[in-house]
Amino acid sequence: MVSVTIDGHEIQVPEGTNVLEAAKKAGITIPHYCYHPALSVVGQCRVCMVEIDGAPKLATACSTQVRDGMNISTNSERATEARQAVLEFLLANHPLDCPVCDQAGECYLQDYAFDFGLDTTHMVEEKRTYPERERRMLGPHVIQNQNRCIHCTRCIRFTREISETHDLTMKARGNHQYIDTFNGEPYDNPWSACAADVCPVGALTVKEFRFRARVWRLEETRSICPGCSIGCNIMIGHRNGVVYRFMPRENAEINGWWMCDHGRFLAEDLNARDIDRPLIRSGGQLAPATWSDALEELARIIGAGTDARVIASANLSNEALYLAKKLFAEKLGLKMLVPVETGPGRSIKNAHKEWIRSEDPHPNATGARLIGLNVGDASRLQDFLITSSGPVVILDAGAHPLLASQDIIQAIKNQPIVAMANAHTPMTRAADLVFPVASWLEAEGTYTSSTGRVQLAERGAHPSDEAKAAWDILTLMARALGADPGPVTRPQQIFEELAAEVPAFAGMTYRRLSNEPGVPVLEEVAHVG
Amino acid sequence: MSIAHTQPLTMTPPEMLRDVHFDGEMEKKISALLRRYPTKQAALLPVLWLCQERWGWLPASVLQAVAKRLELSPAFVEGVTTFYTMYNTQPTGKYLVQVCTTLSCQLCGASGLTAHLKERLGIDSGETTPDGRFTLLGVQCLGACGEGPVVQINNDYYTNVTVEMLDQILDELPE
Amino acid sequence: MEPILLRAEHETNSKALTTSLKLGGYSALKKALIMNPEDIREEVKKSGLRGRGGAGFPTGVKWGFVPQDLPKPKYLICNADESEPGTFKDRKLIHTDPHMLIEGIIISSYAINAHTAYIYIRGEFYEEVQILEQAIAEAYKKHYLGKNILKTGYDLDVYVHRGAGAYICGEETALMESIEGKRGQPRLKPPFPAVVGLFGCPTVINNVETLACVPHIIERGADWFASIGRPRNTGPKLFCVSGHVNRPGVYELPLSVTYREIIEKHCGGVRDGKKLKGFIPGGSSAPVLPASAIDIKADFDSVAEAGSMFGSGALIVLDETTDMVWLLENLLTFYTHESCGQCTPCREGGNWALEIVRRIRRGYGRPEDLETLERISQFASRGMTLCPLGDAFCGPITGVLTHFRGEFEQAIAKAKPLPKKKLPALPVRSGRGTFGM
Ligand SMILES: Cc1cc2nc3c(=O)[nH]c(=O)nc-3n(C[C@H](O)[C@H](O)[C@H](O)COP(=O)(O)O)c2cc1C
Ligand code: SF4
Ligand code: SF4
Ligand code: FES
Ligand code: FES
């Protein structure tokens, strides 16, 4: 540890820390563009100038490591003037088209110019433009407006150091250099949109989000990506119950600052709801019903003694899975299976530059195993379904692709089918009873990642219309079937019980989970799965 | 007395460069270059030179082949290529006439040369005559300022150039 | 002064090894290879030799920074990028006596325990590449290069690495990037090249002329070398004179002669009998000095005292007809064309300054322009940028605004008001590799 003074605050930081990070620790923001904690330090933008006692020249905070006893000023007259000048240089050629720029509201140029810049500019010259690169698709997801680029090279370094796809480069040089791909080919890699995330201005933006909402109007909810078992931390941007985007949320242990395009663009799927109240089949048609009718119907279908089977889902939270096990398997004695599949390989790099890879497309198969549920692949699912003639309860119509296959539906069409879903699938259309379940945004819950970290996804909106969270529905179902769930009011309460019961989760609380980057399950237990 | 001493460049047409391979002779030269450096990447500039000498210019297909040979990403190779002004990613004329536009040569009248060339060739800086014979380019200091004005045609320097000399050179250059 | 670096200037076939040997070439090498490397470093330090590439850093001191105990290869680089406008001495040296340079490279490599040396030469110098390759081949044949040089057990390989059109590659770290096969973008310092240089290894980089001085120091001793010039500014120097003089060219003179002597005596005075208006003393990035400064000494310290920079020793002479607004436009065009583009102040500030000067030249100057130019030069130099190219384009600005401000004020006083519609943007200046963009 070394001790440094920044603007009069004395702080202790580890040796090797740069001045910019040290200042951050002291609560002082030093503006920066080319610096990004995940990327190599290049010291190119020159906006992070600070004055260091005893040094004849100003220094760039990003590339200067602290030394014991260093006395740094971020707000001396010299440092302030220098930063103002650099910002003025940057704005000299910037189009200042903020009203039509998607980055507005989260643009570092806008913010820093406001916080640290001058209020006038001396520039009367015509601005540099790149006529062929003003608005063009750089790839399937990323739009380029080179006029806005401040040449910080973050996007290039992202493709070299993080995605390792090496597909972006700077072409030409000097004042006319620009970002491009080889031979102008589409910029397409599994993490392509992250280049837009690291772009501090509106030079690279994400097509799927373009002009859909002004960022300052969005509410943000801390969540977990539903796309696979890696469990990248995300921020869901939404408004009035409509989901606009997923953005990666920093988590050093799992996803660093990144997420893959597959996960990111699942955001739109969250809006695809077409089941918003219970449905009961009558006269060959699914018709809306009240919750009490639906629960009565459930009790009728799964009367005592029927050989009902429950298909749970590795997409459900630890809380829902725990309840399912406790109420359906243990109290009611029903057979239960969690079907899993092998998905396309996904990978993400954490903040330690380690790749995390997974072919498990479910956000919580690890949780299901740790809770002690019966987990099986497609063939086990098939056997499980066709070896009985009793009712089938499907806790998540999207739990496994086989559940959408016509062969399976044909095979079980004479058995009563109960399903939970928020959007129709071939299976829900064949069902006799459908419960409307809350979307990913609408329910709180924890998920256990492929690397054994338990992570909390918060709730950002109330379930729409008549929908309810899975844990809530499971409680109601159990009660209707005569198994007393006890007073279950919140997922947090279920989690407390789970943590007390299941050793892998021992010592975890929602409070810890929301403050830590996911709490690892106990090492020895983790390997049992 | 003849003063022109420059041989024409040959530009391989793009359709013959769709699929680029290094033949045995090129391979031999590349291997020799690789022995000079501890990394493959370091051979990039010399290999690009080799390719430009071989094919006259450096289309994307050549850059791709170079990238593959040196185990670099094609984007990286293109980024490097376009940083340097002497690598031609477009074909040029047989004679690349480069007039120094920097101070010392200008003090000695180089702007007159440019004006004369523009008029004589009917093209602007950066353009090629329709017959593909000349490409005209204003360039920065060529490092021979004491003998200004300096004109470089392909690899050759012409110094203390006057309008009359320039006319003579252009007339004498072989087909 | 007897010619030292240019001793072969008037020889026929001066490039040949036989000529070099006849004039004493490689005799210093034989002497050096039986010396202790440390003693060579000491001798060079004692000679007071300062780098001829621009910065004037004491060469022996630089060599001393190489951590000899680091178990990594060490490299020597000869900087033959020669791209600062006004400079053409390295080309002259290569044409006159390539073996003197090679001998200097061998001795210097030996002094720092390097076994590989690269000569980085600008891409335009095609002929000079051939000359060097030829000379190197001769030297290998004679066992001045290669394994077990002159049976002393010392090994050295020398390779020529040709640039491809980028002034910035003269900057030492950009040059290393360029050898490594990258865009020629200067590196952050520290670490300094002496410790982390080429391929991450300790590296010494010296200018052609600097290295060519080394054999003479070994041959004739540090004291002899230090007796030329004056203290702290020792040795012979190749002065490149261009512009408005009767006899431009490369002149070998002791450091600390006066500019008057160079211009009037050696170069035959200002061309066409015109009056001297001013001169640029150290390559085009050095601030211009007025005619009244003609009696200062041509060396590192005197020129610095006069508010300019001795740089590479390139003298550009300007007669009374020179339009200083035009001159500034010309030089800013050069530097913006050559900015590598990494740093905001250099990339944006340089171009902005250029646009202002162009506007003034087109008759649309505004009174506040000079202040803006000064502001730009204040914030694009002295550590505001990664490498000194920022300072390099600010030098001309401060020079003309200090000594010839009146010309700008006059241009502005006569200016028309800015048209309502913005002036059309100037066409994109492109390099060759990137026609049109
Ligand atoms: C923008 C820029 C361009 C330079 N160009 C050259 C050059 O063309 N030749 C050269 O020898 N040094 C050049 N230098 C200086 C080198 O960085 C370096 O200081 C020099 O090669 C060291 O050699 P010396 O100590 O022998 O002078 C340049 C420096 C800068 C900042
Ligand atoms: S596109 Fe964005 S991230 Fe990339 S260099 Fe430009 S400003 Fe930086
Ligand atoms: S000062 Fe200019 S040339 Fe030097 S590193 Fe910065 S941008 Fe490049
Ligand atoms: S953030 Fe420090 S130079 Fe860019
Ligand atoms: S100015 Fe033309 S060669 Fe240097």
CATH number of the domain that residue A199 is part of: 3.30.70.20
Nearest ligand 1 atom to alpha carbon C81: 8
* Binding-face residues of A in 157-176 toward B, CB within 8 A: 159, 166-173
Q: How confident is the model at residue A312 (pLDDT cuts 50, 70, 90)?
A: very high
Q: How far, in Å, is the centroid of ligand 2 from the Cα of A146?
A: 8
From A19, A21, A34, the mutation candidate for ligand 4 (largest count of ligand atoms within 8 A of CB) is: A34
Mean pLDDT, residues C309-316 taken together: 96
* Binding-face residues of C in 188-217 toward A, CB within 8 A: 188
Residue A202 domain flag = yes
Q: Which chains touch B (3 or more CB pairs under 8 A)?
A: A, C
Residue A476 domain flag = yes
Torsion of CA A159, A161, A162, A168, to 10 degrees: 0
Concatenated DSSP letters for B124-164?
-TT-B-TTSSEEEEEES--S-GGG-S-EEETTEEE-S--HH
Same domain? For A46 and A153 the reply is no
Residue A106 domain flag = yes
Same domain? For A103 and A56 the reply is no
Residue C330 in contact with partner chain A when CB distance is under 8 A: no
Q: How confident is the model at residue C423 (pLDDT cuts 50, 70, 90)?
A: low
Q: Is the pLDDT at A95 greater than 90, yes or no?
A: no
Distance from CA of B140 to the nearest CA of A (A): 14
Mean pLDDT, residues A173-201 taken together: 97
Mean pLDDT, residues C289-304 taken together: 97
**C307 CB near ligand 3 (under 6 Å):** no
**A34 CB near ligand 4 (under 6 Å):** yes
Q: Chains A and C: how many Cβ contacts under 8 Å?
A: 121
Residue A526 domain flag = no
Q: Find, among A503, A501, A520, the residue nearest to A455 by Cα.
A: A520
Q: Among residues A162, A187, A211, which one ends one of the domains?
A: A211
CATH number of the domain within which A30 lies: 3.10.20.740
pLDDT for A99: 82
DSSP C432: G
Q: CATH 3.40.50.11540 region(s) of chain C?
A: 17-227
Q: CATH 3.10.20.600 region(s) of chain C?
A: 232-319
Least confident range of A155-169, A474-488, C283-297, C368-382 = A474-488
Q: Where are the beta strands (DSSP E) in C185-269?
A: 203-207, 229-230, 233-234, 236-243, 249-254
Closest chain A residue to the Cα of B60, Cα to Cα: A183
Q: Is the pLDDT at A524 greater than 80, yes or no?
A: no
From C187, C385, C393, C394, the mutation candidate for ligand 3 (largest count of ligand atoms within 8 A of CB) is: C385
**A179 CB near ligand 2 (under 6 Å):** yes
Q: Is the Cβ pair A182, B75 closer than 8 Å?
A: yes
Distance from CA of C184 to the nearest CA of A (A): 10
From B140, B141, B161, the mutation candidate for ligand 5 (largest count of ligand atoms within 8 A of CB) is: B141
Selected residue with higher pLDDT from C430 and A147: A147
Residue A355 domain flag = yes
From C171, C175, C210, C255, the mutation candidate for ligand 1 (largest count of ligand atoms within 8 A of CB) is: C171
Rounded (5°) CA angle A514-A516-A517: 105
Q: Is the pLDDT at A83 greater than 70, yes or no?
A: yes
Q: Where are the beta strands (DSSP E) in A316-403?
A: 335-339, 346-349, 355-358, 375-376, 392-394
Mean pLDDT, residues A460-480 taken together: 95
How far is residue A469 from each of residues A246, A288, A407, C77, C215, measured CA to CA in Å?
21, 18, 30, 69, 85
* Binding-face residues of B in 73-92 toward A, CB within 8 A: 73-79, 82-83
Q: Is the pLDDT at C317 greater than 80, yes or no?
A: yes
pLDDT for A521: 82
**C285 CB near ligand 3 (under 6 Å):** no
Over chain A, what is the mean pLDDT? 93
Distance from CA of B27 to the nearest CA of A (A): 24
Q: Which residue has its alpha carbon closest to ligand 2 atom 2? A: A199
Q: Is the Cβ pair B73, A181 closer than 8 Å?
A: no
What number of CA atoms fall less than 13 Å from residue B55's CA on the CB side?
Answer: 30
A61 vs C contacts (CB less than 8 Å): none
Q: Does residue A418 sit in helix, strand or coil?
A: strand
pLDDT for C179: 98
**Architecture of domain C324-413 in CATH?**
Up-down Bundle (1.20)
Q: Chains A and B: how many Cβ contacts under 8 Å?
A: 37
Q: How far, in Å, is the centroid of ligand 1 from the Cα of C55?
A: 7
Residue C161 in contact with partner chain A when CB distance is under 8 A: no
How much of chain A, in percent, has pLDDT values that exceed 70? 97
Q: Which residue has its alpha carbon closest to ligand 1 atom 30? A: C171
Q: CATH 1.20.1440.230 region(s) of chain C?
A: 324-413
Q: Is the Cβ pair C184, B102 closer than 8 Å?
A: no
Q: Is the pLDDT at C431 greater than 70, yes or no?
A: no
**A33 CB near ligand 4 (under 6 Å):** yes
Does the predicted TM-score (pTM) go above 0.80? yes
Q: Which residue has its alpha carbon closest to ligand 3 atom 8? A: C340
Least confident range of A201-205, A514-518, B104-108, C23-27 = A514-518
Q: Tell me which amino acid residue C43 is.
A: E
Residue A293 domain flag = yes
Mean pLDDT, residues C203-223 taken together: 98
Residue A183 domain flag = yes
Same domain? For A27 and A170 the reply is no
C17-227, which class in CATH?
A: alpha beta
Range of the structural domain that residue A468 is part of? 275-448+458-486
> Using alpha carbons only, how large is chain A's radius of gyration in Å?
27
Q: How far, in Å, is the centroid of ligand 4 from the Cα of C419?
A: 37
Domain count, chain A: 3
Strands A178-180 and A169-171: antiparallel
pLDDT for A97: 83
Closest chain C residue to the Cα of B135, Cα to Cα: C432
Token pair for C12: 């026929």
Q: Is the pLDDT at A400 greater than 50, yes or no?
A: yes
- Cα A211 to Cα A200: distance, rounded to the nearest angstrom: 18
C232-319 maps to CATH 3.10.20.600: yes
A181 vs B contacts (CB less than 8 Å): 75
Mean pLDDT, residues C402-419 taken together: 94
Torsion of CA A399, A405, A406, A411, to 10 degrees: -70
Closest chain C residue to the Cα of A169, Cα to Cα: C183
Q: Which residue has the tokens 């202002």?
A: C356
Select the residue of C91, C337, C432 nearest B137 (Cβ to Cβ).
C432
Same domain? For A103 and A54 the reply is no
Concatenated DSSP letters for C2-52?
--STTTTTTSTTTTSHHHHHHTTTTHHHHHHTTS-HHHHHHHHHHHT-B-S
What phi, psi does B75 have (nearest 5°)? -65, -40
Same domain? For A301 and A436 the reply is yes
CATH number of the domain within which A467 lies: 3.40.50.740
Q: How confident is the model at residue C433 (pLDDT cuts 50, 70, 90)?
A: very low
Same domain? For A84 and A164 the reply is no
Q: Is the Cβ pair B101, C333 closer than 8 Å?
A: yes
All domains in chain B, ordered by first residue = 14-83 (1.10.10), 95-172 (3.40.30.10)
pLDDT for A119: 64
Same domain? For A37 and A137 the reply is no
Residue C350 in contact with partner chain A when CB distance is under 8 A: yes
Same domain? For A181 and A65 the reply is no
> Using alpha carbons only, how large is chain C's radius of gyration in Å?
22
B32 vs C contacts (CB less than 8 Å): none
CB B135 within 8 A of CB B127: yes
**B102 CB near ligand 5 (under 6 Å):** yes
Closest chain A residue to the Cα of B58, Cα to Cα: A183
Same domain? For A199 and A183 the reply is yes
Which residue, among B44, B52, B83, would best test binding to C if mutated, counting the most C CBs under 10 Å from its CB?
B83
Same domain? For A339 and A423 the reply is yes
Selected residue with higher pLDDT from C140 and C426: C140
CB C163 within 8 A of CB C178: yes
Residue A204 domain flag = yes
